[in-house]
């Protein structure tokens, strides 16, 4: 995962929604994508596993604020393969707490599992933003803006991917949906859309950094384009000048300078003397001075004459 991704997630993990409706929405998204329901005998445990301490802390706090005690919430730090550590937030659910599953949108009124977003859970804009933030925290990533523009979120279920796509659309962010290795992927490639998505989620500092890099990149591209364009023009000018010099040399070999038509003579001599000058500059050197188009016309005559004679 890119460092920019981590930065963005750390910032989002620090945002704690004020409203209860948004707290439920964000915890629901986190649990749906990072959590699981463990069944051991009659015991039911909801747990969230993550390698990001900020996300674990947030889940812990959301749980506590929303449902309070006597829920047992334990935070564990374990080492997996001796390299990465991960955190688990566990909540043991007694009979009396099973309605939490309903509240968090895991099951419907008939105790059936819900695969998408529970209807009515994210009706308000504030909740939609919180839900999207939860999804990104759990399953999202974004490339360093210096490299390429890419933001994605991975879903195990198609229904949820489609629901989140619709939710984001209503906030003005249009995700593309695709399938990858039995997972479903929502992604953005357009830098404007990535900026909008980060703004909606509330990643304001990461957003500023993203914008700075984006502006720098676009300025650099613009300068490169301009330089390329100027180089191309210069090459064209030099190529034309080289051709004119060749033609005039050939004419003089055949006709001598005095043999050139009088109104073309001065220009022919000036061109040989100043092969790097533009037509406009040559015109200014003439007496009397001649406009660029006048110079171009006479130059064309010289070239035609040279072609006729060769």
Binding site for Zn ion (CB under 5 A): 19, 21-22, 124, 126-127
CB of 22 to Zn ion, least distance (A): 4
Q: Which is nearer to Zn ion, 21 or 286 (CB)?
A: 21
CB of 140 to Zn ion, least distance (A): 20
Q: Which is nearer to Zn ion, 44 or 128 (CB)?
A: 128
Q: Which is nearer to Zn ion, 19 or 226 (CB)?
A: 19
- Helix 262-273 vs helix 292-309: crossing angle, to nearest 10: 100
CB of 52 to Zn ion, least distance (A): 23
CB of 49 to Zn ion, least distance (A): 26
Distance CA 62, CA 179 (A): 31
Q: Which is nearer to Zn ion, 65 or 229 (CB)?
A: 65
Q: Which is nearer to Zn ion, 59 or 270 (CB)?
A: 59
Residue 34 · residue 138 · CB < 8 Å: yes
CB of 68 to Zn ion, least distance (A): 20
Q: Which is nearer to Zn ion, 126 or 185 (CB)?
A: 126
Question: Could you tell me how far CA 52 lies from the centroid of its own chain?
Answer: 23
CA distances in angstroms from 247 to 180, 254, 307, listed in the order given: 64, 11, 8
CB of 102 to Zn ion, least distance (A): 18
């Amino acid at each position: 995962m890119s460092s920019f991704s981590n930065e963005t997630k750390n910032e989002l993990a620090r945002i704690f929604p004020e409203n209860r409706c948004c707290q439920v929405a964000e915890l629901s998204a986190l649990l749906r994508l990072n959590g699981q329901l463990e069944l051991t005998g009659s015991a039911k445990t909801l747990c969230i596993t993550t390698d990001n301490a900020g996300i674990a802390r947030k889940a812990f706090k959301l749980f506590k604020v929303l449902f309070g005690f006597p829920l047992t919430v334990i935070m564990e730090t374990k080492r997996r393969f001796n390299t990465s550590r991960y955190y688990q937030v566990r909540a043991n659910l007694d009979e009396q707490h099973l309605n939490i599953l309903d509240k968090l949108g895991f099951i419907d009124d008939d105790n059936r599992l819900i695969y998408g977003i529970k209807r009515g859970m994210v009706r308000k804009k504030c909740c939609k933003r919180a839900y999207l933030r939860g999804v990104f925290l759990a399953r999202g990533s974004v490339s360093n803006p210096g490299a390429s523009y890419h933001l994605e979120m991975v879903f195990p279920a198609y229904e949820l991917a489609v629901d989140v796509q619709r939710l984001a659309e209503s906030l003005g962010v249009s995700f593309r949906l695709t399938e990858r290795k039995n997972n479903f992927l929502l992604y953005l490639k357009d830098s404007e859309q990535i900026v909008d998505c980060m703004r909606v989620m509330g990643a304001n500092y990461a957003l500023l950094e993203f914008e700075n890099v984006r502006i720098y990149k676009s300025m650099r591209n613009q300068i490169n384009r301009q330089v390329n364009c100027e180089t191309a023009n210069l090459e064209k000018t030099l190529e034309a000048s080289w051709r004119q010099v060749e033609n005039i040399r050939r004419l003089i070999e055949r006709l001598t300078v005095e043999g050139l038509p009088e109104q073309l003579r001065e220009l022919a001599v000036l061109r040989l003397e100043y092969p790097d000058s533009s037509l406009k500059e040559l015109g200014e050197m003439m007496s009397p001075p001649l406009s660029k188009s006048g110079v171009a016309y006479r130059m064309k005559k010289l070239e035609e004459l040279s072609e006729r004679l060769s």
